[in-house]
Amino acid sequence: MLISGYLFDNLISLMDANDILMSESYLETLKRIHDFFLPKMYLEIGIRHGKSLALASPETCCIGIDPEPEISVPVHKNTLIFPMTSDMFFSTVHADIIDPGSLDIAFIDGMHLFEYALRDFINIEKYCHDTSVIILHDCFPVDYESSQRTRTQLFWTGDVWKMIVALKMYRKDVKISLLDSDPSGLALISHVDPHSTILRDLYDTLCDQYIPIHYEWFEKNKGGYFPVIDAKTFDFTRIF
Ligand SMILES: C[S@@+](CC[C@H](N)C(=O)[O-])C[C@H]1O[C@@H](n2cnc3c(N)ncnc32)[C@H](O)[C@@H]1O
């Protein structure tokens, strides 16, 4: 089989990533999260083929949001798909679909830029309750190229990692469990507060502060800010 140079570069990039985070795949971790928590209401931003969305139990009501969904995996019948950006969903549709306090688990995997992930978190948290869990994908960058704000290759985590730093700095009330799920980590954020307005009030400041930070900052500070936990043996009751 011939592998194009582009694909080859991305395979190498993923292999490098696997050298760093060699736990179970993020889909395996997500499946165990669904089986453990059995959420009544689950929302996912960024669904693409539906692989992660399809992991929910058939009893769970699921909301999937993506401007370009390409569903190729069967999803359960309790699933509503909104073909739009998450910003559009939260500025137009949300009130008819989700009641405040009804969201049990949400997975943020849409646009991989800090300010988008931040807005997704702010919008989602409003619909949470005190035992909800917000899961953030791609928050442990694996190399310089894949964590740039401009996408240059297939495997791309962007600068979502800055969310961990911002939450640790400005939302000391939430608990962050950073799992080493392959290939680029899953952060389980618990102790969320639907009444908190801190991130919303500071949105512009946070963008000014974090968007200019470079990957080198992560390399220097990851020991202190990004202690990863083995996903395979993680006891989910520890998030509370
Ligand atoms: C990495 S894929 C999601 C993969 C999926 N969660 C899974 O694990 O199988 C990212 C998706 O985010 C979508 N996306 C990009 N910008 C978005 C936005 N502003 N709002 C919602 N989804 C977005 C893309 O169309 C793409 O399908």
**Cα Rg of the chain, angstroms:** 17
Residue minimizing CA distance to atom 18 of ligand 1: 85
CA atoms within 13 A on the CB side of 215: 14
Widest pairwise Cα distance in the chain: 55
Residues with CB under 6 A from ligand 1: 45-49, 51-52, 65-68, 85-86, 109-111, 116
CA nearest 155: which of 65, 63, 64, 21?
21
CA-CA distance, 57 to 54, in Å (whole number)?
8
109 Cα to the center of ligand 1, angstroms: 6
What is the CB neighbour count within 10 angstroms for residue 79? 21
The pTM of the full predicted model, rounded to 2 decimals, is 0.93
Mutate to test the pocket of ligand 1, among 66, 105, 108, 137 (most ligand atoms within 8 A of CB): 66
Tell me the pLDDT tens digit for each residue of 27-79. Answer: 999 999 999 999 999 999 999 999 999 999 999 999 999 999 999 999 999 99
Second CATH level (architecture) for the domain 14-232: 3-Layer(aba) Sandwich (3.40)
Tell me the pLDDT tens digit for each residue of 87-126. Answer: 999 999 878 899 999 999 999 999 999 999 999 999 999 9
Atom of ligand 1 nearest to the CA of 44: 6
**Which pair of structure tokens corresponds to residue 28?**
């395996």
Which residues share a beta bridge with 137?
Answer: 186
CA-CA distance, 100 to 190, in Å (whole number)?
17
What single DSSP character describes residue 178?
Answer: E
Residue minimizing CA distance to atom 25 of ligand 1: 68
Atom of ligand 1 nearest to the CA of 68: 25
Is residue 83 left, alpha or beta, with left meaning phi > 0 and alpha meaning psi from -120 to 50? beta
- For the chain, domain boundaries: 14-232
Residue 58: alpha-carbon gap to chain centroid: 22
Residue minimizing CA distance to atom 20 of ligand 1: 85
Residue minimizing CA distance to atom 8 of ligand 1: 52
